[in-house]
Amino acid sequence: MLNQPRYTVLATASLLMIGSPAGAAESSGEAVYAKYCASCHDQTGARIPARSALMNLSPARILRTLDFGAMMSIAYPIRRDEREAVARFLGHGPEDAPPPPSAFCQTDVPIMNGAAKASWAGWSPDASNARFQDTENAGLTASDIPNLRLKWAYAFAGDVTAFGAPAILNGTLFTGSAGGTVQALDGKTGCIHWLYQANGPVRSGMAVVRENGRTTLVFSDQNGWTHAVDAKTGKPRWRKRPEEHEATRLTGTPAEFNGVVFVPAASWEETRSIDPEYPCCTFRGSITAMRASDGAVLWKTYLVDQPKRTGKTAAGTPTFGPSGAGVWSRPTVDPARGLLYVTTGDNYSHPATTTSDAVMALNVKTGQIVWSHQMTPADVYNSACGAKAVNCPANNGPDYDFGSSAVLVRTMAGKDILLAGQKSGVVYAFDPDQDGKLLWQTRVGRGGTNGGVQWGMATDGRRLYAAVSDVVRLPPPPGAAGDASHPVGPVGNATLAPDKGGGITALDLITGEKLWSAPAQACAPPRPGCSPAQPGAVTAIPGVVFSGSMDGHIRAFSTAGGQTLWDFDTEKDFTTVNGAPAHGGSLDGAGPVVAGGMVFVNSGYPRFGGAPGNVLLAFGVN
Ligand code: HEC
């Protein structure tokens, strides 16, 4: 089935229009870049891919990013001819071409073959968010791990980031990508079953809804759209914006329960506030319960009250609050207690609320907040603080979001515990039977804006495995653009410390006691984009825990003592099954996925100064 991505058509159509618009002076791409882009992309600060990474993209790709990609809201004031000019000025990468017919599966390769039972249904194999795959579903044991080797590689053609969270259903892999394409690939060979084009980059995983013999995938994109797609055909069922705010950014995977999906919402406002003219802030984190069959909203819970005008900044820009408490992670369903556990990020503006940096329980039927525990009070922060810009709130907080899901686990002793890891570097255990009473807390990292536990922990019911980022940005060398005497950008031209950050720790589930720690090794050799930080979500199977690093390596550690069982460097060129060039880079965000004897890893993450890459790697033993 040749189901070509829509974006190539749109991009070609847009490129055909490139040229001098009638009646308008031709725009200089360089001037547009200087006016609208340089302040961010001429440095490698937090969350921003560097200009050199953008130059590897095609003009069509850059245009798509401005038109309906990650830069869409920044591009609102930019005229059509200006967009085209800046895309031509910046883009030096190869044009996007549709995949060759040879990249698609032959008709005798069935999608979601019933014979392949193993699954990893979204962010975690199941609703608990434990990121643990049992032996039967893993199809791998600890003794197999040293023999893992690359089976196939798939290129996200034209992308500089590979951050999708794959799902595996009956031998088929589904993953989003930075170009906004969701792909259904055969797990064994990587051939393409279908491609679906979203309205923005897709890094959310898939909620898997099985109803009346039909499987629907529900996922979200970075421009605020939630999509429901038939898993067999890739045909859309519906697409909706669960939240009206224009800065909405949907990163977290929707959770599913009884035919309802719970869509978590976070936003771009935190970075938008670098702009001194941006009225900060009005976005409110939320959970929207949508009926999976048609997207109808059943309930919606905002996590802060409606913002009001609060005053103005030193630059005269009006300020609003409360705001923030965005939800970046997949909510956790607790069917026994009828609860949905949600973790939240910081407030962006004053007044502070009690619902930021919190772990909370919502009634799964009504969305009503049943209990809420704030771990860091008064954490009012936005990216203007790192940039020393006027929108930074007074007495700003440390930006200690919860970026990862709460994990519900039953211990070997039969007791349920709820775990949560914070960017502060602290891991907490709560008692779900006592309204989330705190049972223990243990520090596993130093913490920071991009520190601590970022994307997710794993547990096998005995131990909890928590890797930390703790990435360290070095100040720019004197005289470089971005140092104090050349303040070009909001965050400075930082590079990453090659010998600081990272590490993984195993904790006893009952006591929180540290059982072992495997410190990270320094980058060898030190190189741009390399840090030993381990911000990505970790994944466990019996005896083994997998953790990716910003140094480009995916490693497997023994759960018994933290010894390294396997180490593969992804930061190189790969020959791909779909024929497009691919290179690996930093590992961050969604972690590895294990199912049916295979390990799947996305590589490439140029945000936070990391190394770009655009490859999905599939490992197996035979
Ligand atoms: C306020 C800061 C800011 C400004 C101004 C800005 N960008 Fe960006 N840009 C970002 C950030 C942050 C990202 C990373 C988005 C993400 O996390 O996906 C990004 C991502 C991109 C990407 C996508 C890279 C990828 O992963 O595929 C392109 C292309 C891009 N920007 C082009 C531009 C152009 C062209 C302009 C000027 C018209 C511009 N940007 C202005 C902050 C900015």
Ligand 1 touching residue 65 (CB < 6 A): yes
pLDDT of 262-282, one tens digit each?
999 999 888 888 878 889 999
Q: Would you list the DSSP string of 425-476?
A: SEEEEEEGGGTTEEEEEEE-S---TT-SS-S--EE-SSEEEEE-----EEPP
What is the distance between the alpha carbons of residues 92 and 578, in angstroms, rounded to a whole number?
A: 22
**pLDDT at residue 375, as a whole number:** 98
* Mode of pairing for the β-strands spanning 564-569 and 495-496: unpaired
Residue nearest to atom 5 of ligand 1 (CA): 37
Confidence check: pLDDT of 78 > 90: no
Q: 278 C-alpha to center of ligand 1: Å?
A: 17
Distance 70 CA to ligand 1 centre (A): 6
Q: What is the mean pLDDT of residues 558-581?
A: 97
User: Which of 330, 321, 338, 247 minimizes the C-alpha distance to 287?
Assistant: 330
Cβ–ligand 1 distance for 44 under 6 Å, the answer no
Residues 159, 78, single domain; the answer is no
Least confident residue range of 275-279, 348-352, 446-450: 275-279
Q: Say which range, 18-22, 275-279, 375-379, 553-557, has the weakest mean pLDDT.
A: 18-22
**Which pLDDT value is given to residue 493?**
39
Per residue in 481-490, pLDDT tens?
443 333 333 3
Judgement on whether residues 498 and 599 belong to the same structural domain of the protein: yes
Ligand 1 atom closest to the Cα of residue 86 is 35
Q: Using CA positions, which residue lies closest to atom 36 of ligand 1?
A: 37
Residue 115: phi, psi to the nearest 5?
Answer: -70, -30
Best residue among 27, 36, 40, 55 to mutate for probing ligand 1, ranked by most atoms within 8 Å of CB: 40
Residue 615 CB–ligand 1 contact under 6 Å: no
Residue 6 has pLDDT above 50, yes or no: no
Q: Is 57 in the pocket of ligand 1 (CB under 6 A)?
A: yes
* Residue 147 CA to ligand 1 centre (angstroms): 40
For position 442, what pLDDT does the model report?
Answer: 98
Is residue 540 lining ligand 1, measured as CB closer than 6 Å? no
Pocket lining: 201 vs ligand 1, CB cutoff 6 Å: yes
Domain with 278, as residue range(s), is 101-620
What ligand 1 atom has the least distance to the C-alpha of 39?
5
pLDDT in tens, 44-75: 666 788 899 999 999 988 987 887 667 866 77
- Using the CB atoms, write b or e for 603-613: b if 16+ within 10 Å: bbbbbbbbbbb
62 and 88 Cβ atoms separated by less than 8 Å:
no
Q: Is the CB of 370 under 6 A from ligand 1?
A: no
85 shares its domain with 105: no
Residue that terminates a domain, selected from 90, 113, 134? 90
Q: Are residues 81 and 143 in the same domain?
A: no
Q: What separation in Å is there between the alpha carbon of 102 and the centre of ligand 1?
A: 33
User: 183 in ligand 1 pocket by Cβ < 6 Å?
Assistant: no
User: Does some domain include residue 152?
Assistant: yes
Please measure the distance between the N-terminal and C-terminal CA atoms of the chain and give it in whole angstroms.
29
The band of 17, judged by pLDDT with boundaries at 50, 70 and 90, is: very low
Q: Do 593 and 123 meet the contact criterion of CB atoms below 8 Å apart? A: no
- CA angle, residues 422, 428, 431, in degrees to nearest 5: 140
Q: Which of 27, 35, 41, 161 to mutate to test the pocket of ligand 1 (most atoms within 8 A of CB)?
A: 41
Q: Are residues 304 and 370 in the same domain?
A: yes
Looking at residue 157, what DSSP letter applies? Answer: T
Question: What's the pLDDT tens digit per position in 95-149?
Answer: 777 899 999 999 999 999 878 889 999 899 999 999 999 999 999 999 999 999 9
pLDDT one-digit tens code per residue, 492-535:
335 899 999 999 999 999 999 999 999 999 999 888 889 999 99
Is 37 a pocket residue for ligand 1 (Cβ < 6 Å)?
Answer: yes
For the segment 90-95, the average pLDDT, to the nearest whole number, is 89
Do 238 and 211 belong to one domain?
yes
Nearest CA to ligand 1 atom 39: 37
Q: What is the mean pLDDT of the chain?
A: 90
- Classify residue 386: in a domain, yes or no: yes
Task: Tell me the CA–centroid distance for residue 450 and ligand 1, in Å.
Answer: 19
Locate the ligand 1 atom nearest the alpha carbon of residue 47 and give its number.
12
Together in a domain, 56 and 121: no
599 within a domain of the structure (yes/no)? yes
Last residue of a domain, one of 36, 59, 90: 90
Tell which of 30, 64, 90 closes a domain.
Answer: 90
Residue 303 Cα, ligand 1 centroid: separation in angstroms? 28
Same domain, 133 and 270: yes
Question: For residue 96, is it within any domain?
Answer: no
| Residue 1 maps to a domain | no
Tell me if 86 is assigned to some domain.
yes
Distance CA 587, CA 613 (A): 9
For residue 247, the CA-to-ligand 1 centroid distance in Å is 14
pLDDT at 24: 41
Helix, strand and coil percent figures for the chain, each rounded to 5: 10, 30, 55
The CATH number of the domain where 78 resides is what?
Answer: 1.10.760
Q: How many domains does the chain have?
A: 2
pLDDT band at 387 (very low <50, low <70, confident <90, very high): confident
Q: Is the CB of 607 under 6 A from ligand 1?
A: yes
pLDDT at residue 68, as a whole number: 62
Question: Is residue 61 located within the same domain as residue 208?
Answer: no
Label residue 11 by pLDDT band (50, 70, 90). Answer: very low
Q: What is the pLDDT of residue 48?
A: 85
Q: What is the pLDDT of residue 69?
A: 64
- pLDDT at residue 26 in the model: 61
Could you give the CA distance from residue 398 to residue 379 in angstroms, rounded to a whole number? 6
Q: Check pocket membership of 157 for ligand 1, CB cut-off 6 A.
A: no
Q: For residue 40, how far is its CA from the centre of ligand 1 (angstroms)?
A: 8
Residue with tokens 């190539």: 8
106 and 61 assigned to the same domain:
no
* pLDDT band, residue 478 (cuts 50/70/90): low
Joined together, the tokens standing for residue 411 give: 């211990």
The confidence band for 259, taking pLDDT boundaries of 50, 70 and 90, is very high
Specify whether 83 is located in the same domain as 224. no
Residue 71, domain member (yes or no): yes
Residues 120 and 54 in one domain: no
Question: Is residue 506 in contact with ligand 1, taking CB distance under 6 Å?
Answer: no
Instruction: Kindly state the DSSP code that residue 242 receives in the 8-state scheme.
Output: S
CATH of the domain at 258: 2.140.10.10
Query: What's the pLDDT score for residue 388?
Result: 80
Looking at the domain assignment, is residue 95 inside a domain? Answer: no
Q: How far, in Å, is the centroid of ligand 1 from the Cα of 55?
A: 12
